[in-house]
Every structure is written in C-alpha cells, then in structure tokens.
Chain A
Amino acid sequence: MPEDAYLASSLVDHDIDVGAYRVGMVYGKALLAATEKAGNTDEVMDELDQLIDLLVKQPKIDEIMASGMIAGDRKVAMVERVLAGRVTPIFLNFLKVVASHGRGGFLRAIRKAVRDLRDQQRGHVRVQVTTAVPLDEGLVERIRNQLRGMLGGEPVLAQKVDPDLIGGLVFRVGDTVYDGSVATRLAQLKSQMIDRSIHEIQRRRDRLSPATGN
C-alpha cells in the first residue's frame, strides 16, 4: 500500500486536527447512513476518493471550496454545474449540503472519518508497519496472518521504510506501538549499561572513601 497521497498533500495535517476531525465525523456519519439506505456505499466511497484525488491535482478547486469569500449558493451552483450527471445523486446532494454549510474545507477530514467508520463496521484494523528495508510479498502475508490472530480483526497494512531502524519491525496499531527494532534495542542496552556502570563506579568510590559519603 503506498503512502497516503491525500494526507501527504494536505496543508493541515488532518490526522491530528482534532476540531476538523470532529466536524468530519458528523458529516461522515450522515453520508454513510444515507448511502446505506440507498445501498450504494462502495460506489459513493470510490467517488469520494476520486474527488479527493482531484483536489490534490487541482489545488485551485480546493481553495475555492474552502474559501469563505465565496457564497455558499455559488459553490452549490458550481458543484451542480460540474458534477451533475457524472456522479451518483446521493454524492451530489452530499457535496451541495457540505458546500452550503460552508464546510468545503473539511472534505479530507470527512474522508478520514468515513474511512475510520467503515473500518469499524467491517472489522478492519489499520496497522502501520515500519521496517528498515522494503518487505516482500511473502513476508507481508505472514505478518498479516500473524496480526489477524493478534488483533481480532482484518489488518490493513500501511508500509513505511525507515533505514534508521537498522533492522526488525515496528507495528503501530492506533496509539500503541509494538517496537521490535534493532535501533530501540540498542538504545535500551545503552541506557542499561550506563545505569549499571554508574552504580558500579559509585559503589567503588563509596568503598574507597567511606568517610566522605555522598
């Protein structure tokens, strides 16, 4: 799985923009509920992904949607003109609602919220795997099988390569990091050695000069 393009492109990192995410959650829940009723959730999700890709390529459209200088009804008219007939009616309506409420700048956050909600529904767990060298297919499959048993859900892997790890693997599931990398082990070994050595040195010093104490 490649690096997430929309996250990399966005000006604000929605991953940690708490306020935007909360807004996105509200719209995301509404969108999901509407598509479930109509029974075309997957189709609409694809459209949302495509729209975000489009925004990445056409930053000007992004700016117009997010801008507070352009009236809501003009944005709605623009959405109508550009997308009518090209997308499902639900998605078109959704975009109109978003535009008329002045939430055009929150499309990325909405997508993230929708994705998280879908993950929850389908029992998917997103796992970030960081390694020193790129993983081959066989290894990815083994990791996936291993994680499936551990997490009690279908793991969705996002791979990242960081040569600083030297070796080993680092998994991140939600807020928990399972770190089996060589770099971390070396750091632990180092601090342990320093602690022990200080203790050793101090003990000998105390033995040599008991009168002075500390």
Chain B
Amino acid sequence: MKFNADEIASVLQQEIEQYEAQIDVREVGRVLEVGDGIARVYGLSGVMAGEMVEFPSGVNGLAFNLEEHSVGIIILGDFLSINEGDEVRSTGRLLSVPVGDAVIGRVVDPLGNPLDGKGPIVTAERRPVEFMAPGIAGRQPVREPLQTGIKAIDAMTPIGRGQRELIIGDRKTGKTAIGIDAIINQRQSGVKCFYVAVGQKESTVATVVEALRRNGAMDYTTVVVAGASDPAPLQYVAPYAGTAMAEFFMYKGQHALIVYDDLSKQAVAYRQLSLLMRRPPGREAYPGDVFYCHSRLLERSAKLSDALGGGSLTSLPIIETLEGEVSAYIPTNVISITDGQIYLQPDLFFAGQRPAMNAGISVSRVGGAAQIPAMKKVAGGLRLDLAAFRELEAFAQLGTDLDAATQARLDRGYRMIELLKQGQYQPMDVIDEVLSIYAGTRGHLDKIPRDQVADWERGFLTFMHEQKSEIREKIASTKKLDDDTAAALETAIAEFQKQFAGKKQEVAAKA
C-alpha cells in the first residue's frame, strides 16, 4: 500500500496551524506504593470513584478505593513500569471501550486494544464499561428463542433472547463447548456474539478463536481476552468491557449473545484486588460485594421494551465448580442471579453422554415462553421423563426381573439418551431437532439397537431433507406441528423405517 507523503504532510501542517494551546489543568497525586496490580496514591483529593487516572508511563488506572488520606488505584496494564513517587493525574473520564461494527470479528483486550494483529480499531463510538442496567419499564418478558443448536438444551432448557442461563460444572465437562456451539449456531440468526475469556490459558483461547474461525463464526463474533497471565484488574474488568460492546447492539434494537468464560475466575481476580486493597474478607475470603459484582454485570442482559427498540442481550455465564460443589459461595450467588442453569456432570461426560447435561437439575426459568410451538409440543414432558428414567435405571441395575411396561420405559429412555448425544461444533437446525425428538419421544426408535440410533438419526434427517422437504418447510414457516403435518411426518417415518431396515439387511447379507 502506498500513501501520498505530501498529503499526509499537509494534514500534519494543518494540524499544527490549527492547534490551539490551552492550559492543561489536571489534578495530580503521588504514588506511595505499588505492587501486584494496585497502587496507593497520595493526593488526587478530588478524584471520583471509578474515575480513570493516568500514570506517567501511559498506563491507565481506575480509582477503586477512596480513603481519608490516600486513593487505591487498580492498574489496567503493566504495573512494573510504575515507580514510587510517580505523578498520577486524574482524567475526569470513566473507563470506556470502542464499540460497534469495528470490533466485530476482532480479538481485543479488555480496554479494546486489538490483539489479533489486524491493525487499529478505528471508531468514534465508545461506551462506558460500567453502565446501569435497564429498569423495569425498559424491559419486557423474554419471548423470542435463542437457538443454541444443541438438542438437549433447545428441547429441555430452552433459552430465550434476553435470558441469562448459567452453564455450571466441574472442569473438563464441556462448559466452553456449549458456549462455542451456541455462538457457531448464530450464523444465520444475525445475533452478534461476544466471547469473554477471563483467566483462561492463552493456548485455550487461541484454540477457541481458531474453532470459531474455522466454523465461520468470527464474522460476527468479538473475543475479549484477559488471559491467565494478565494482571487481576484486567481480568476483573473484562466481563464489563465485553458487556459494554454487546450492549451497544442491544440498545440499537439488535440482538446479541455474550458468553462469560468464566465468572469464577473473575471472582478470584476481584478477591485478589479487594484483599490487596485491604477490604475486609468475608466468606471464602471473597469481599462482601462480590454478589453485587456479578449481579450488576448479569442484570445488564435484558430484553428491551419495544419503545427502546426491542433489542436483547442474552448471556451465558460459565461457572466452574470444584468436585460438583454447587453450594460454594460463588456458584450459589450466580445460580440465584441467573434465570436457570445447565448443569454438566463429569460422570455423564465420561459415560459418553455429551453434552453431559443432567436433565433432572438443569432448569430454564423463562425460556419455555420462547420455545417455538413445534418444539414445545414434541419436547413437552421430555425433561421429567428423562429424570424418571435415570431413577428407574438405577433401580434396574439391581438385576431384578422387570415387567414389560417398565422394560419399555427403560428402552425408550436409553434411545432418548442416545438421541440427545451430539458432537462438538455440530449445532443443528431447530427443525431438525424437532424431527429427531419427535421420532424419539413417539417411540419410533424403540426397535432400533442402541448403537444404531445415531446412524438412524443421520439417515432420517438426510431423508427428510432430500425427499420430504415439504414437511420441513411447513414446520419452518408455521413454527407449529399441527395434526396434518404430524400425520405426514408419521408416514414419512414409516417409509424411512423400511428403507433403514432394508439397508441394514443388505449390510448384513454382504457380511
């Protein structure tokens, strides 16, 4: 690329000619002590809580603690470049990040600086990182679905636009995978996605970004990274920064989805800051306002009223538990803030059920209203049936003789479990989900051997795509499954059953 040097020179010259010198008035203080992401500053007597301050090295800070004789500053950047005795100046501004289309498709740090080497983010639009959540009058109930593309979730714990659904589980149970799949599935829906990585390994984040890119999701996704090696203040600020970027679209009447991965690490970063600032520790040494730290963040997810444009911000916060301990401080806090939780369990994960969602204790408190009618019809009692099946299964392991009805319920349950398994990065269209679950709950899979359920489903969906596309289109356009369509679907399934049986015989004959 070639620039016209003369032109730039003339721009610079204009700049100098038009430059009006004004006396720079600033409020200053001096650094008393500095370390581990915080600084204590003497002076700055007029600084406001949450105001940005500037250190001589160009690093910014945030006034965090206002005390009688000093100010506690959290340093957003390299704190090693700050020395005792340095002059700190207040800026009179609040922390803000660039927002808008310019950040879409980018990987940025919590201050909005690009990390992906694709040049500067040039936009005049900024939003404050801390922003009041919309009030009661500004909201309306959740009513549109946000399809995650994961059968188990869309059927049993549906998520609506504007909802906050917690993803909770031990390490290595596929929490991030659910968030990523939900993002990948928004390719057609026009929902802008934000993935906030807090305290994650940089290598993990790189893998996630690569997965998003490979699946074409980076076209509408922003990744905000405060890695494990970043100082605690950045990890603490990252979720708020990501929310500010996502909110921009909500207030413009569009839809956004944000995944916080994960809030337990943010709480740990906040605990570190609070302890360094000598705020009194409470339960598990977290400060007293750690609940507020998360509640004010998650309250910003909302479905706005039509008067405000009807935009929405859906959030999927992730919490990592230790040994399934959901009664720890942070998990209980976040469970009580969110509108439901998806509970992932390691034993299910290792038993091959992926996503490893425990249907019995996972709930969605508001999403049911947002499910499409067809899905509501086919998946109605699924969650309770599966929970009952789990109990029955435990009982059946005792080896007692079972009556035919019980055996039938067990068979159905095993088939449903098989059917709800789904690979990573393979989100499904909601119509396909309806078709699969219809076949399962109506007992069409009861005669299929368990290890062939996945084959059957794949074949069935291809069959519906290629030969019965009118049924799919009918459901897609009306979003309903009326009696006529159901009857047509029944015949289609019967037809496919014959094909499937024929194919199996062929394979068997060849063998």
Q: Which of A175, A189, A201 has the most CB of B within 10 A?
A: A175
- Chain A residue with the shortest CB-CB distance to B67: A18
Whether B105 and A213, one on each chain, are in contact in the complex, defined by CB atoms closer than 8 angstroms, is yes
CB distance from A78 to the nearest CB of B (A): 33
Chain B, residues 99-116, CB within 8 Å of chain A (1/0): the string is 000101110000000000
The answer to whether A119 has its CB under 8 Å from any CB of chain B is: no
Whether A196 and B24, one on each chain, are in contact in the complex, defined by CB atoms closer than 8 angstroms, is no
The answer to whether A208 has its CB under 8 Å from any CB of chain B is: yes
The answer to whether B384 has its CB under 8 Å from any CB of chain A is: no
The answer to whether A142 has its CB under 8 Å from any CB of chain B is: no
User: In the assembled complex, which residues on chain A have CB atoms less than 8 Å from the CB atom of B27?
Assistant: 175-177
The answer to whether B122 has its CB under 8 Å from any CB of chain A is: yes
The answer to whether B43 has its CB under 8 Å from any CB of chain A is: yes
CB-CB contacts below 8 Å: B7-42 with A: 8, 11-12, 15-16, 19, 21, 23-30, 32, 42
- Chain B residue with the shortest CB-CB distance to A199: B122
The answer to whether A210 has its CB under 8 Å from any CB of chain B is: no
Chain A, residues 40-73, CB within 8 Å of chain B (1/0): the string is 0000000000000000000000000000000000
Stretch among A86-94, A157-165, A178-186 lining the B interface: A178-186
CB-CB contacts below 8 Å: B219-249 with A: none
| Assembled-state Cα–Cα distance A15/B29 (Å) | 11
Whether B119 and A18, one on each chain, are in contact in the complex, defined by CB atoms closer than 8 angstroms, is no
Q: Chain A contact residues: over half helix, strand or loop, or mixed?
A: helix
| Assembled-state Cα–Cα distance A196/B11 (Å) | 9
User: In the assembled complex, which residues on chain A have CB atoms less than 8 Å from the CB atom of B30?
Assistant: 15-16
Chain A, residues 145-181, CB within 8 Å of chain B (1/0): the string is 0000000000000000000000000001011111110
**Known contacts A18-B69, A177-B25, A177-B26; A214/B11 CB under 8 A:** no
Q: List 30 A-B contacts (CB under 8 A).
A: A13-B85, A16-B32, A18-B70, A21-B69, A22-B69, A172-B28, A175-B28, A175-B45, A176-B46, A177-B25, A177-B89, A178-B23, A178-B24, A179-B23, A179-B26, A184-B24, A185-B24, A188-B24, A193-B15, A197-B12, A198-B120, A198-B122, A199-B122, A202-B120, A203-B122, A208-B1, A213-B105, A214-B102, A214-B106, A214-B119
Residues of B within 8 A of A (CB): 1, 3, 8, 11-12, 15-16, 19, 21, 23-30, 32, 42-46, 69-70, 85, 89, 102, 104-106, 118-122
